[in-house]
Chain A
């Protein structure tokens, strides 16, 4: 029995363990991929889109790639780049699957986002909704987004990622 099959057996056991152990409310795992703080922003009434933000940690020894996202909330769920360039706000579909290097954490929400197109309802602060991220190696990861307030900064701070000098009155 070679090292490779041992590793396979280990992965299988790890897989079964993560499968059977229920994930905590706000963090989700599959294989080497851990999803942290999936959050969305409350939407104004009638808003045709909603954004999704989270962090993807790859605790394994091999790179993985985020291929797609989906949710029952929306007619379609897309992965976008969204950047400020030369004074213009730009938004494009991601050029390809998002690389998650081994041992690293990739943030979605800094120059990119998940966009829920035509959400079935307005999102209110404190609500949650389900979605699925699909990775090349880790496969499908079911996650739950927590809806934060409408201010981006406020939402970030609520998650303990305090941003640069906002002076609360």
Chain B
């Protein structure tokens, strides 16, 4: 009887330890990517140097972007849902703004430079507003831009030696000084997204 009691006690302690560990893990996990842009003090953690190449071969960096607000989001062409839909929706919003859409830049940043060649991006982007810039870089440049936006991208192996990318979602709204202003989520109603965009460029 005593042996059984002791065993139960040990088992419950083990359960408690594992639960606490899990809880901490879940908390930490949800803490990190869901708040890509703020630290405890509320100051944006987004910032830092990056330099990438566009689908047209131009170098685009944190420095070259100064002077105009811009929108940036992470994606890749091997993505069937959210990436093309985001590009399409942003194209629609730019069409609605007309010439006002010339006052800001829109950047798609590839998290999969291995497969997203400059040639593929150039071809792919013809389906969207020509003002949208698709950027890629070397592995090191890609890591640097992820760090600059406090974003994450994880390679996930799939069947048949294939892989997919998991990445931070949402469109970063950045001001003319390269400071983080807000995050636009594509699942928000269009009028809310338009409001955020108009506020950024006003």
Instruction: Spell out A's residues near B (CB within 8 Å).
Output: 41, 43-51, 76, 78, 82, 84, 86-93, 113, 115-117, 149-153, 164-167, 169
Contact = CB atoms under 8 A, between A and B. Distances in A.
Interface of B: 29-30, 32-36, 77-82, 84-85, 87-89, 92, 96, 115, 120, 123-128, 152, 154, 156, 158-160, 162, 164-170, 187, 189-191
B78 A87 contact: no
A167 B152 contact: no
Contact of B162 (A41, A88, A117, A153): A117
A92 B36 CA distance: 23
Nearest to B30: A86
Contact of A151 (B80, B85, B154, B156): B85
Given A113-B81, A151-B89, A47 B124 contact: yes
A23 B79 CA distance: 32
B36 A43 contact: no
Contact of B166 (A43, A89, A153): A89
Q: Which 9 A-B pairs have the closest CB atoms?
A: A51-B80, A44-B127, A46-B123, A87-B34, A150-B88, A87-B33, A89-B169, A152-B85, A165-B189
B191 A165 contact: yes
